[in-house]
Amino acid sequence: MLNNKNILITGGTGSFGQKFVEIVLKKFKPKKLIIFSRGESKQSLMAEKFSTNDYKCIRYFIGDVRDFDRLKIATRGIDIIIHAAAMKQVPASEYNPIECIKTNIYGAQNLVLASIENNVKKVVALSTDKAVNPINLYGASKLSSDKLIISANNLSAGKGPIFSVVRYGNVYGSTGSVVELFEKLKNSNKPFPITNKSMTRFIISLDQGVMFVLRSLNMMKGGEIFLPKMPSIKIIDLAKAINQSKRISIIGIRPGEKIHESMTTQDDNNLLIEFKNYFKHLPSYMQNAKEIKRYKIGENGEIGNYVSSKFSYTSDKNKFLNIKEIRKFIINQKKK
């Protein structure tokens, strides 16, 4: 799928980008693998692990998705784009709303236009559960980004790139996650701060996230939002799994924070097709019965079915990992 292809990943020095590069270099032989990001120090650190001497396909491009001209240059000759660049921190986005909008919305728009102009073949953008029924700017900006990416298929009109979205929940151990905070505090005298004892979240590992993106890239026909089936955890159970004897302090909900997250809304159930390990959310503009039939075919010929009108995919009404299972999950992540 990726052999002899020119691939660009925006936000490529982030947690997802680094794992994506690691897995792609291990499993495929791309012609070019371009890491596009605006942080020169992060690129320098990443180049120590993935040097251009050891990996001849790798290129490091300094650039910002806000800068259309730079993005247009970077996407020349590219076959596949993974769009992972975003402002992701809820508090930072609430405090710096214009910066969030410039990166997450205008950046997505720039990517769409540059991809069409340079006739890129496939574009997959990463989304988040916070884009569903958003109550914070980060979620609202990612919802807008998702809409831009999906509707881009109308702009390319079947003659240019095809665009799809992959949406999943909290990535275990990603930069800025609560796991980082708990790991820092687990041997200190300070308690674990938890905003609400009832809080739940979806959980997925970096490896699982990357592999699901690769599977979606292989399956995509354009216009879908791919949703993996993920377990949920209680944040208080995560804290206990990291340190069972640690004191916990309930600090109250932060601005823009939810108790539970959703992967889709019940209003969209008429567009949601279920498969064994994932869901496909069809584009709202999809009306053609022949096209819908084609979208119902999944991996290895699996036929999906529409969910019921009462279906709900929320972190509080989902399969939960218990403390023992969370601890096993953590141990497995540390081995990788």
Question: pLDDT tens, 299-317?
Answer: 889 999 999 999 999 999 9
pLDDT at 332 over 90: no
pLDDT at 289 over 80: no
Q: Is the pTM value of this prediction over 0.75? A: yes
The string of pLDDT tens digits covering residues 83-127 is 999 999 888 999 999 999 999 999 999 999 999 999 999 999 999
- The amino acid at residue 272 is L
- In the chain, what are the domains? 6-169+205-229+263-312 (3.40.50.720)
The string of pLDDT tens digits covering residues 149-191 is 999 999 877 678 999 999 998 888 777 678 888 988 988 889 9
What does the mean pLDDT of the chain come to?
93
The string of pLDDT tens digits covering residues 2-56 is 999 999 999 999 999 999 999 999 999 999 999 999 999 999 999 999 999 999 9
- Reduced to 3 states (helix: H, G, I; strand: E, B; else coil), residue 280 is strand
At residue 6, what are phi and psi to the nearest 5 degrees?
Answer: -95, 115
Tell me, what's the pLDDT at 176? 67
Tell me, what's the pLDDT at 323? 95
Residues with Cβ within 8 Å of 42's Cβ and at least 6 positions away in sequence, in order, are: 13
Tell me, what's the pLDDT at 16? 94
Catalytic machinery residues: 130
Position with higher pLDDT, 78 vs 177: 78
pLDDT at 287 over 70: no
Interatomic CA distance for residues 115 and 306, integer angstroms: 32
pLDDT at 255 over 90: no
Q: How many helices (H) and strands (E) does the chain have?
A: 12, 15
- Altogether, the residues listed in the chain come to a count of 336
Mean pLDDT calculated for residue range 203-224: 95
Interatomic CA distance for residues 79 and 117, integer angstroms: 13
Contact indicator for 304, 296 with CB cutoff of 8 Å: yes
